């Protein structure tokens, strides 16, 4: 599979976005172009929104091949980088609508943590929401999406490539529920 021209154009626009640049204590230092922040190994802010249906199933989706980080991986959360002009909650609402076409739902904040992986250093805020309506996928970012029982998701994460940052958010969410 190859990224489409539309995906490549979306990636270029995404790489040029001004996102929140923060320090190790999540204090805002300013705005920085996403690609520069990533190249310099600096810290940004990210949001993760775990979308459940009323049956308790979790929405999982597959990322497009044009994504800068974890291309083609499965993901347990919608989300993305917080723009310099946004709060975590504003970013979460925007990302959920952009990626999955879900808006007007209550976003419940449940965690704030630091995540670090190769090429990915973030202060993260995780949210969850419930939605039983249709999904409208953003084709430049999401290849497919569906709801799955949590026990199936937890088995599948060992069989398919899943984004480690959103898995960290899910694991923290599940640990808090126990």
Place of tokens 């480690």: 164
- Number of residues assigned to the chain: 178
Q: In DSSP terms, which residues pair with 122 in a beta bridge? A: 44, 115
The annotation status of 95 as a binding-site residue, yes or no, is: yes
The annotation status of 106 as a binding-site residue, yes or no, is: no
Query: 10 Å Cβ neighbour count for 8?
Result: 15
Strand pairing of 43-52 and 120-130?
Answer: parallel
Cα–Cα dist 161/111, whole Å: 24
| Residue numbers belonging to the annotated binding site | 95, 99
| Residue numbers belonging to the annotated binding site for Mg(2+) | 95, 99
């Amino acid at each position: 599979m190859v990224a489409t021209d539309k995906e490549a154009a979306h990636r270029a626009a995404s790489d040029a976005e001004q996102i929140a640049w923060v320090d190790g204590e999540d204090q805002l230092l300013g705005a920085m172009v996403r690609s520069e922040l990533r190249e310099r190994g600096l810290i940004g802010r990210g949001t993760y929104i775990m979308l459940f249906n009323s049956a308790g199933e979790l929405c999982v989706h597959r990322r497009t091949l044009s994504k800068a980080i974890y291309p083609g991986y499965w993901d347990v959360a919608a989300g993305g980088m917080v723009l310099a002009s946004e709060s975590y909650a504003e970013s979460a609402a925007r990302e959920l609508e952009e990626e999955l076409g879900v808006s007007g739902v209550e976003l419940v904040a449940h965690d704030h943590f630091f995540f670090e992986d190769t090429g990915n250093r973030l202060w993260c805020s995780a949210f969850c929401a419930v939605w039983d309506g249709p999904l409208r996928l953003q084709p430049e970012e999401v290849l497919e999406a569906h709801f799955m029982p949590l026990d199936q998701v937890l088995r599948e994460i060992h069989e398919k490539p899943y984004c480690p940052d959103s898995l960290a958010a899910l694991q923290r969410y599940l640990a808090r529920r126990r």
